[in-house]
Amino acid sequence: MIAVVGSLNLDLVTSVPHHPVPGETVLGGDIVRHPGGKGANQAVAAARLGGEVSFVGRVGDDDDAEVMLSAARDQGVDVGHIRRTSGTPTGRALIAVSPQGENTIIVSPGANSRLSAADCAAAADTLGRARVTVLQQEVPDEANHEAARLSGGTVLYNPAPAVTGAELPSRVDLLVPNRTELAALAGLSSTPETLDDVSAAARQLRRLGVGAVVVTLGGDGVLLCEGNAGLHIPAFPVTAVDTTAAGDSFCGALAVGLAEGRSLEQAARWAAAAAAISTTRAGAQPSLARREETEALLAQ
């Protein structure tokens, strides 16, 4: 079983002719609503690949809460540890997309910001039984720290979005940043570009006591840093049309691979295949890969 502790956001997406500058108003297109949030996306990514997934999180006491709960439930995610929070809205993300496909995103965490150490303690049995516990940075540190402490299996920490001042839990077995998040954690002034630079930054993080570091590199694939060795896994060659949630797809799939007993390298290859598939389709949760197509791409 995989435990995902994290955020659930209703994404409100609109197209804009250009992104507004401070003080400017622009007219956007009709708003489209999608279930999102890094926690929810990663949980759905894992469930769609056949993982047994239990979610620990919070929604508000509004209509959006039901949208989020039923989207997770419909994908087979156990929502028994998602609490409703009175007097608080469900998390929302306001997303504007320009004609060039560039996003600006404002996340209003709402109920996600109320997720507490006590909520994780209430799910101690689930966390203790989980083969993999998946964490990100859209809920308070105290919840992540308690979840990591209570986890009976591998703690997979995705330090996303990059938040200055976020503190890693005392136990992280597997850290999964992208280049930007790696730079933020390593305190670098610029994003590491070459594999050597990425590898040096990842080694620096391992000194923080992290088990292994798996850096996702977009179309450049993945760099796996375990011990002093680094292994580059190239991206699967696909025609990418929308890379939204590629990182979430990767994390959910990596959790499934590890929970099924694959080695880290095998699990990272499987996750790279699932993430590649997600880039060939539009959107976040609708784009997430299924098991058969992931196995087929992996076997090519």
* Least spacing, CB of residue 221 vs ligand ADP, in Å: 5
From 49, 213, 222, 256, residue interacting with ligand ADP (rule: CB under 6 A): 222
E-assigned strand segments in 227-281: 229-233
Nearer to ligand ADP, 9 or 85 (CB): 9
* Least spacing, CB of residue 17 vs ligand ADP, in Å: 26
Would you state the torsion angle of the CA atoms of residues 282, 177, 5, 293, taken in this order, to the nearest 10 degrees? 40
Q: Which stretch binds ligand ADP (CB under 6 A): 4-12, 164-172, 242-250, 284-292?
A: 242-250
Nearer to ligand ADP, 59 or 253 (CB): 253
Q: Which structure tokens are listed for 293?
A: 């197509």
**Residue 268 contacts ligand ADP per CB under 6 A:** no
CA atoms of 146 and 74, how far apart (whole Å) = 28
**Residue 231 contacts ligand ADP per CB under 6 A:** no
Helix (H, G, I), strand (E, B) or coil at 213: strand
**Residue 256 contacts ligand ADP per CB under 6 A:** no
How many residues are recorded in the chain? 300
Contacts of 133 (CB under 8 A, 6+ apart): 2, 3, 4, 5, 127, 147, 148, 151, 153, 154, 155, 156
Contacts of 170 (CB under 8 A, 6+ apart): 145, 148, 149, 209
Residues 97-136 that bind ligand ADP (CB under 6 A): none
* Least spacing, CB of residue 247 vs ligand ADP, in Å: 2
From 94, 240, 262, 266, residue interacting with ligand ADP (rule: CB under 6 A): 240
Q: How many other C-beta atoms can be found within 10 angstroms of the C-beta atom of residue 135?
A: 30
From 14, 98, 243, 266, residue interacting with ligand ADP (rule: CB under 6 A): 243
**Residue 272 contacts ligand ADP per CB under 6 A:** yes
Tell me the pairing of strands 174-175 and 2-5.
Answer: unpaired
CA atoms of 215 and 173, how far apart (whole Å) = 14
**Residue 221 contacts ligand ADP per CB under 6 A:** yes
**Residue 1 contacts ligand ADP per CB under 6 A:** no
From 143, 175, 264, 275, residue interacting with ligand ADP (rule: CB under 6 A): 275
CA atoms of 238 and 217, how far apart (whole Å) = 15
Nearer to ligand ADP, 81 or 179 (CB): 179
Strands of the sheet containing 32-36, edge to edge, are 32-36, 9-15, 91-97, 103-108
* Least spacing, CB of residue 118 vs ligand ADP, in Å: 30
Q: How many other C-beta atoms can be found within 10 angstroms of the C-beta atom of residue 2?
A: 26
Tell me the pairing of strands 222-226 and 212-216.
Answer: antiparallel
* Least spacing, CB of residue 212 vs ligand ADP, in Å: 15
Q: Which stretch binds ligand ADP (CB under 6 A): 104-112, 162-170, 205-213, 245-253?
A: 245-253
Nearer to ligand ADP, 54 or 244 (CB): 244
78 an active-site residue? no
Residue numbers of the site for ligand ADP (CB under 6 A)?
Answer: 160, 178, 216-219, 221-222, 235-236, 238, 240, 243, 246-247, 250, 272, 275-276, 279
Q: Which positions are annotated as active-site residues?
A: 248
